[in-house]
Chain A
Amino acid sequence: MSMEAFRKWQCTVCGFVYDEADGWPDDDIPPGTRWEDISEDWVCPDCGVSKQDFEMILLE
């Protein structure tokens, strides 16, 4: 795992925040998973937009 700090990403459709440190265990994304390492067919857990359809923006 890279030493770079974990980042947070926000769904530009609904405001959902993906925190790389927490991952998303409900969808088998373990803590520490980088945004770019999440599969392209993952959908936003809150609004259902697929990863390829929305842009996550970097928070802070």
Chain B
Amino acid sequence: MEPLIIIGTGLAGYTLAKEFRKHDPHSPLTLITADDGRYYSKPMLSIGMSRKQIDSADANEMAEQLNASILTNTRVTAIDPQHHLIKIGRDELRYRQLVLAWGADVFQLEVEGDGIEEIYSVNNLQTYEVFRKAISGKKRVAIVGSGLVGCEFANDLAASEHHVEMISQSHTLMPKLLPPDVAAPLQVCLQALGVHFHFGIGLAEVNRTDGGLELVLNSGKLVHVDVVLSAIGIKPHISMALEAGLTVNEGIQVNHLLETSEPDVFALGDCAEVDGHVLLYVAPLMACAKTLARTLAGHPTPLRYGPMPVGVKTPICPVVVCPPPKGSLGQWQIHGEGLDLRACFVQEEKLLGYALTGQYVKEKYALNKKLSTS
């Protein structure tokens, strides 16, 4: 029997494998990863400063736990859906079913200067460890981007006695997720933690100086730091899927069974576009892994997303947001004061989304129930 092959051993690949084994303990299962296959959870990377270790098991332990074979440091070079095989250089592997769980690529900052090698980005355990090494013994970090990951890193680094300069083209924190009024309390709290903000402005140059780096902003302003962390976002990794002839839009397109346009090829996680949505968060990934595991075990199960709030792990000011569906007409109604806010996105008295800060984050579960029923 040919194996089920999963490409990628991030949270998507490993969670799917764990779930699959609950339904099917014995069928051959192979996971392939370009890295060393250590198990870790990506959301922990942006809150990891207080930890010695993020990973909890190596590839051998995972292989034993999953009754699977795991090919580490192995890069798949092509997919041939017609013949049910993948290529690794000159080698070919046949599959019964194939799952693409290879994640996303980071957007690269386009800047000038002789210090651009000191720009780091974090999207997996390997790049996280490189960044941790780079800031070891350093105090001043510039974070480019004010999205979710930028905010979490700002909190984590500032709380571990780093001086943080945040540089962003936008004028508020997490503009894609939060209404500006709700983003304000977090900014106040991060400021109190010592974070400096340079908003509505881009980074033009990174140059080396004797004592570190000199950043030149578009305005001409100079900022001095030791390390730059780029957190301007990620995009689904699609190139190999395109070459294989799979239907791709922003991500690899899959239906509610997580099937791609080719038979027996599935996708989930950061590389997938599920029914038109690319959702780069944990909750949708977990929902996908659970239903896909059933489908792969012979019980086709359509995906049903419940409410999927995004928790922003900024302990200085907790934020939870459940964005309204794209294109929704309606208004934010904001209650509360100071650091504790409850914003409800309402259309004709129907709740479509919410954003909560401070004490109000506890209302998340009650509001989820309201979302499900409204």
Contact = CB atoms under 8 A, between A and B. Distances in A.
Q: Do A and B bind each other?
A: yes
Interface of A: 12-16, 26, 45-49, 53, 55
B155 to A, nearest CB: 12
Interface of B: 11, 15, 18, 41, 43-44, 47, 56, 282-283, 286-287, 290, 311, 313, 365
Contacts of A16: 311
Contacts of A26: 365
Contacts of B287: 48
Q: Which label, helix, strand, loop or mixed, suits the secondary structure of the B interface?
A: helix
A14 B18 contact: no
B274 to A, nearest CB: 16
A46 B283 contact: yes
Contacts of B286: 47-49
A15 B185 CA distance: 21
A53 B290 CA distance: 13
Contacts of B365: 26, 45
Nearest to A14: B282
B311 A12 contact: no
Contacts of B313: 15
B290 A48 contact: yes
A14 B41 contact: yes
A15 B287 CA distance: 17
A42 to B, nearest CB: 14
A15 B290 contact: no
A53 B282 CA distance: 15
A47 B56 contact: no
A13 B11 contact: yes
B18 A47 contact: no
A55 B55 CA distance: 12
Nearest to A59: B50
B11 A15 contact: no
